[in-house]
Amino acid sequence: MKIPMANRLAPLSTGIFAELAAEKRRLLKAGRDVIDLSVGSPDLPPPPLILDKMATYVANPDLYSYSISGIEAFQHAAASFYQARYGVSLDPQSEVLQLAGTQEGLSHLPLAMLNEGDVALVPNPGYPIYETSVRLAGATPYSLPLREERNFLPDFDAIPGDILERTKLMILNYPGNPVTALADRSFFEEVVTFARRHHIFVVHDFAYSELVFDGIRPISFLAVPGAKEVGVEFNSLSKTFNMAGCRVGYICGNAEGIARLSMLKSHMDFGNFLPIQWAAVDALTAPSEVFEAQLSEYVKRRDALRDGLAEAGWTIPTTRATMFVWARIPAAVSSREFAFSLLREAGVACTPGDAFGSEGEGYVRMALVHPVEKLQEAAHRVSRFLESTVERTTSYSEPR
């Protein structure tokens, strides 16, 4: 029997993450030890307060029915969080919508807003779901190159006029993944002006909003005047509260855009598990010390990996946000060849930059998802690998 396949799946592939996972499994079966820095899944637990609350809710037999949609308390909690953290006022009823994680919302929003022939601007390199979601909606993604010489900010003036005429949507991500760049207020002001001029709806992924280091305060796109008129922002409890497996996030901002997604979701799901929703409310309304405590741990991890690689002759930039390091490879090989050689020969898994788009070639992404001691061991393995197998090239220098 020939199993049918939708045409919309044709441009998609299993991707580099599946390839890396398969190679990692092969090595583990062969008895090799692997330090996996390829996947950005938090290894830290949720705050004790959330664990205690979750246990209480899970034991409540009244919380096992369909929720249908997000509970009202969650919408209010998210709005209060945005007011307290970013100075953004939101209407809980119309400007906040709960999601089963931001990936779910990012994958579905283009289905609710784009048609065949439409164009969406997506960052390159960028998180894979951005381009994939546009393709699944039948629209056409257009790459916004993110390059060091521009501090990984897109150049809107370089977009051809015929593309702008067809563009309906633009996706941005600061702090970024895989590039760990930050955007300042003036850039977001430029985005609002650009979006108004060309009638483009802005989608800002703010999932790493609270993983910003060295005393820098995160800036919400919605904090810029006029932003709610032209776009929305996605946020998540996955990284801020280490609740990744709970799959709970939200979209906020433009009420009409949120209504589009809400209508689509009403035909696709019955809401999140109620104990998770109530634990999310407790997380969003907890004192900021509950989630800020983890920042010092990420800084220690960042510094340990950076310093360890520097001793090996691989100078990488100082990550100022997110749980990743984005580094130019110190070898005259492709990023994919470098990543698989490092995995097979040193037992350290990282993600080749081209997995995030053509502009990622020449880079790798490493996740800070292990304790300091493990990251130091990873750096030692990298050092031995570089000494024995890789021809050195000019080391990375940070953009000014």
* Residue environment code for 165-203, b if the CB has 16+ CB neighbours within 10 A, otherwise e: eebbbbbbbbbbbbbbbbbeeebbebbbebbeebebbbb
- For the chain, give every residue range classified as CATH 3.90.1150.10: 7-45+290-388
Residue 264: the pLDDT is 96
- For the chain, give every residue range classified as CATH 3.40.640.10: 65-284
Residue 392: the pLDDT is 43
Q: How far apart are CA 235 and CA 220, in angstroms?
A: 10
User: How sure is the predictor about 167, in pLDDT bands with cuts at 50, 70 and 90?
Assistant: very high
CA angle 34, 39, 41 (to 5 degrees): 110
- Residue-wise pLDDT for 293-317, tens only, equals 899 999 999 999 999 999 989 999 9
CATH number at 65-284: 3.40.640.10
User: How sure is the predictor about 388, in pLDDT bands with cuts at 50, 70 and 90?
Assistant: confident
Q: How far apart are CA 146 and CA 334, in angstroms?
A: 19
Residue 291: the pLDDT is 87
End-to-end alpha-carbon separation of the chain, Å?
60
- Residue-wise pLDDT for 259-293, tens only, equals 999 999 999 998 999 999 999 999 999 999 988 88
Q: How far apart are CA 225 and CA 170, in angstroms?
A: 18
Which CATH homologous superfamily contains domain 7-45+290-388? Aspartate Aminotransferase, domain 1 (3.90.1150.10)
User: How sure is the predictor about 389, in pLDDT bands with cuts at 50, 70 and 90?
Assistant: low
- Residue-wise pLDDT for 119-163, tens only, equals 999 999 999 999 999 999 999 999 999 999 999 999 999 999 999
Verdict on whether the full-model pTM lies above 0.85: yes
Residue 14: the pLDDT is 66
Say what percent of the chain tops pLDDT 70.
96
- Residue-wise pLDDT for 328-382, tens only, equals 999 889 999 999 999 999 999 999 999 999 999 999 999 999 999 999 999 999 9
Mean pLDDT of 189-199: 98
- Residue-wise pLDDT for 208-254, tens only, equals 999 999 999 999 999 999 999 999 999 999 999 999 999 999 999 99
Residue 399: the pLDDT is 38
The backbone torsions φ and ψ at residue 316, rounded to the nearest 5 degrees and listed phi first, read -120, 160
Residue 400: the pLDDT is 32
Q: How far apart are CA 248 and CA 281, in angstroms?
A: 11
Mean pLDDT of 48-69: 96
Tell me the pLDDT of the chain averaged across its residues.
Answer: 94
| Beta-bridge mates of residue 165 | none
Run of H or E including 304: helix 289-311
- Residue-wise pLDDT for 66-123, tens only, equals 999 999 999 999 999 999 999 999 999 999 999 999 999 999 999 999 999 999 999 9
Per-residue pLDDT at 398 exceeds 70: no
Q: Please, are residues 382 and 327 in contact by the beta-carbon 8 Å criterion?
A: no
